[in-house]
Amino acid sequence: MRQTQLFTKTRKEAPADEMAKNAQLLIRAGYVHKEMAGAYDLLPLGFRVVDNIKKIIREEMNALGGQEFIMTGIQSKDVWTSTDRWSDDIVDIWFKSELHAGGQVGFGWSHEEPITEMIKNHISSFRDLPIYVYQFQTKLRNELRAKSGLMRGREFVMKDMYSYSTDAEQHEKFYQKTIDAYKKVFDRLGVGEDTFVTFAAGGAFTEFSHEFQTICEAGEDIIYINREKNIAINEEVLNEKTLKDLNISREELEQVKTAEVGNIFNFGTEKCEKMGLYFKNEKGETIPVHLGSYGIGITRMIGVIAEKFSDEKGLVWPESVAPFQIHVLVLGEDEIVIAQAEKLYGQLTKRNIEVLFDDRKGVSPGEKFSDADLLGIPYRVVVSAKTVQQESVEIKKRTSADSELVSYDEFIARFTV
């Protein structure tokens, strides 16, 4: 991608009303545009980051046997009434609207009820189970506070997966496999070491639900962790009973601020019973299905990464999510230098390496450097009169202060897999 053709530019200032560091950086670097509080457009750069995260999640969910699908954003009132969750007193984040034809619809803040209703048409016998499906959805929530940038949107992207199982054992097996798959996802996203499987409130049949909490100063949650014992407890369930159950004392726990990047939940048979999702088991008995739901906040994750991986100069993307791997900067307007940069750009793109090529004219080297730092692409590669004289390029990692001079061939070879 040529920077002269890239839609959106970097900006000196974020909007004055934007308080969150993650959104300030992402807006200034041209990854997102703020429509209003809690609503951000994903511009081409931001879109690429979302796409990279989705690819990683898709691979891990498919490996679990998950099948991707997509449900509608508008939802039926009746479906949610059946579990009492249409009421604004019970769910306080609904967006709803009136149909011209009469009647109300809700905008999907979750899909647990609609999918369970849909599954009723597809299950009658134990032979139809288990079912594992997931989607990437734009969720709409009328959040009271939307001051954390991408970390709490009124419109945001979530991966939500659902498991329908014949019994507690089949359910539990998948639940545990999903925990492992989530760990892989967060490892691959570069936050594995700072992400904890955390005991939290909820769970219909179990005492706890499990949240995936990533240490982050700008996060809205507080959890208590012990790294050696690998135990994490959300403050909402930190009490004598929990400590006793987990065989740990308060003194062994360290308090940290976190952001909830994922949440997995065991409904047992409760929701399926309420909604009438039953099947015939091998003995011919009619029994309710076990439901599990598994979310990952994709746009929140981007906010968390921007908060954690950034410095005073800008973003510092982990390679796995970066919109491009290499940022080639051509300095000056000498024709020979430009021709050399074009040649290298061509060689890299031919090898399917994701490159952003700063081919802008009339932009000073200083400005190109500061934009490169703001954009945060993992490798910056400079082609200038000085490097061309030595038949080399200057490579600098975004995470490092040092650069090195490398011959053209070695440069290409280094990035060829």
Q: Which residues of this protein are in contact with ligand ATP, per CB under 6 A?
A: 110, 141, 143, 152-153, 156, 158, 260-263, 295, 297, 299-300
Residue 227: CB minimum distance to ligand ATP, A: 22
SS3 235: helix
Residue 323: CB minimum distance to ligand ATP, A: 20
At residue 241's C-alpha, the angle toward residues 237 and 245, to 5°, is 100
Cβ contact 126:167 at 8 Å: no
CA pair distance 141, 279, nearest whole angstrom = 33
Instruction: CB nearer to ligand ATP: give 33 or 280.
Output: 33
Instruction: CB nearer to ligand ATP: give 221 or 358.
Output: 221
Residue 413: CB minimum distance to ligand ATP, A: 40
Residue 17: CB minimum distance to ligand ATP, A: 18
Q: Name the closest residue to ligand ATP (Cβ).
A: 297
Residue 23: CB minimum distance to ligand ATP, A: 12
Residue 216: CB minimum distance to ligand ATP, A: 12
Instruction: CB nearer to ligand ATP: give 43 or 261.
Output: 261
The order of strands in the sheet holding 95-98 is 74-76, 104-107, 95-98
β partners of residue 2: 357
CA pair distance 36, 120, nearest whole angstrom = 39
SS3 21: helix
Instruction: CB nearer to ligand ATP: give 204 or 413.
Output: 204
Instruction: CB nearer to ligand ATP: give 60 or 371.
Output: 60
Instruction: CB nearer to ligand ATP: give 213 or 269.
Output: 213
Query: Cis before residue 288, ω within 30 degrees of 0?
Result: no
Instruction: CB nearer to ligand ATP: give 144 or 401.
Output: 144
Paired tokens of 178: 């999903």
Instruction: CB nearer to ligand ATP: give 109 or 324.
Output: 109
CA pair distance 192, 262, nearest whole angstrom = 13
Residue 195: CB minimum distance to ligand ATP, A: 11
Residue 394: CB minimum distance to ligand ATP, A: 39
Ranges of H-type helices in 189-297: 240-245, 270-275
Pair type for strands 379-383 and 326-330: parallel
Cβ contact 164:129 at 8 Å: yes
Cβ contact 64:181 at 8 Å: yes
Paired tokens of 121: 């048409």
